[in-house]
Structure 1
Amino acid sequence: MSVTNLKPNMENWQDRVDLAAAFRWTARLNMHEAVANHFSLTVNDDGTQFLINPNQMHFARIRASDLIVVDANDPDTLSRPDAPDPTAWGLHGGLHRHCPHARCAMHVHSIHATVLASLADSRLPAIDQNSAMFFDRHVVDEGYGGLAFEEEGERCARLFHDPSQKVMVMGNHGVMVIGDTVADTFNRLYYFERAAENYIRALQTGRPLRVLSDDVAEKTAQELDGYPEQSDRHLSEIKALLDAEGADYAS
């Protein structure tokens, strides 16, 4: 039996459940890094109030009721007794102040995306169907300036000025993925990591890459953009697997 409705009196409960499931599965896939990464989801119309994970809590333990709500326009956020991690506040506060189209944001130091971020050329070429999904839809940050406290977070947020670009390869750092919902964003995060892994493994062969033409890459990206129900079904299946295990993510 699903346990996704144990706290119906808590605001934004289904959003909380979805985000908690995404945290749990990200840890399951080893795409997190210790307690250093963070996800957020807006809960008001203008996108300035958002759910975010508690300060340095491991993704594998996060429950729906653990998530905190903060306001991107509240300068006293880090003075709260339940203040988020300061780099989470720097990155996600800046993002939700400047990018209303970023309803959900997921930042990780996943292995292959971070390897990509460590290359002199951190662009992801369209060499297969997964990487074609991101053709002309990702931006590379080449100005890393240290830990993502408020000034660095603001700088990163301003690179998401084109709503069609929903992935930022954070040079020398990791990856930030944005989207409309938890399902949409997590699905994109998952596929970007898989695409980066395929690319890194292809480079390791030392053989020439078979890069798709721009026309075919764009056609494939558009087809994947419109693929019916994939992201929602992906998250639904993750929750079904967690529920079958008796996981407490939805509590």
Structure 2
Amino acid sequence: MTNPYVFPDVKARASAEEWRQRVDLAACYRLMAHFRWTDLIHTHVSAKVPGRDDEFFINPYGLMFDEITASSLVRIDGDGRVLEDPTGIGVNPAGFVIHSCIHRANHALACVMHTHTAAGIGVSAQKRGLLKLSQHSMRFFGALAYHDYEGVALELDEQPRLVRDLGPHRAMILRNHGLLTAGETVREAFDLMHYLERACQAQVAAQAGGAELIECDDSLAAKVAEQFRGPDPGAEHDWPALLRMLDRIDPSFRH
């Protein structure tokens, strides 16, 4: 079936670098749908427009994530003004509040992801946050931030606290809310979210079993985190493999 949210004129105007960014971001949305990380049309991923520190792409606020294409993405500036929106749908105001301040504070962070998964929300509601129960969780030891809940993220005065709480990290638990990751590429932000989500799933599953838990000590967690900071032999292969999977499912994300 033809995807109605393909706009060929957008690709005709885009540079090769911009189009690659659009395709990667559309792929990220499709992967969120595939892995069941969506919250209907809510939550969001943003990616910086290449060469423009004050502009980024985000989803039209009305498409399911498995409908999003590279050409349907909305181009928005750091002040929330819509610069290009081929669907005419507009954007989620909370997406602007959360994402724009992180992009503005650190121009190296080209992609920001935010989710409301059951496991992510479950761990975000626990006083101790992410526990040292799994290899996935220990990957984030010493590199995970927390931000207290302030209500639906619609107020601009929350932005300085979001930036402050994230600090130098690239992963954050939004208490009573969900998860957030950021990366220099779409692939990096997705990779961090995948493993943070898996860590939360493992924690909730272990707690649900009712048996006494084995929590690793800080020294072992620090060792594991340091191991993950080393070279990643899969880093150049996992994203192409994920794109091939999406191509088998529905290649319209590329258009």
Q: What is the TM-score of this pair, normalised by structure 2?
A: 0.85
* Kept after mapping to 2: 8 A contact 1:77/1:83: yes
CA distance in 2, matches of 1:114, 1:76: 30
Aligned-residue offset at 1:141 = 1.4
CA distance in 2, matches of 1:75, 1:130: 35
Q: Does 1:173 align with 2:147?
A: no
Overall identity of the aligned pairs, in %: 28
Aligned-residue offset at 1:225 = 2.5
Which of 90, 100, 105 aligns to 1:93? It is 100
* Kept after mapping to 2: 8 A contact 1:20/1:62: yes
Aligned-residue offset at 1:10 = 1.7
Pairing of 1:64-83 with structure 2 (within 5 A): 64-72=70-78, 74=79, 76-77=81-82, 83=90
Which of 29, 36, 57 aligns to 1:30? It is 36
1:248 aligned counterpart, secondary structure: helix
Aligned-residue offset at 1:45 = 5.1
More helix by share: 2
Pairing of 1:75-224 with structure 2 (within 5 A): 76-77=81-82, 83-121=90-128, 123-142=129-148, 144-149=149-154, 150-161=156-167, 163=168, 165-224=169-228
CA distance in 1, matches of 2:253, 2:50: 23
CA distance in 2, matches of 1:204, 1:112: 12
CA distance in 1, matches of 2:101, 2:217: 36
Query: Which consecutive residues of structure 1, in runs of 5 or more, have no partner in the other structure?
Result: 1-5
RMSD: 2.2
Aligned-residue offset at 1:124 = 1.1
Q: What is the TM-score of this pair, normalised by structure 1?
A: 0.87
Query: Which consecutive residues of structure 2, in runs of 5 or more, have no partner in the other structure?
Result: 1-7
2:254 aligned counterpart, secondary structure: coil
* Kept after mapping to 2: 8 A contact 1:90/1:154: no
* Kept after mapping to 2: 8 A contact 1:21/1:249: yes
Pairing of 1:31-50 with structure 2 (within 5 A): 31-44=37-50, 47-50=53-56
* Kept after mapping to 2: 8 A contact 1:125/1:135: no
CA gap 1:120/1:89 in 2 versus in 1, 3 angstroms? same
Aligned-residue offset at 1:77 = 4.6
Aligned-residue offset at 1:76 = 4.2
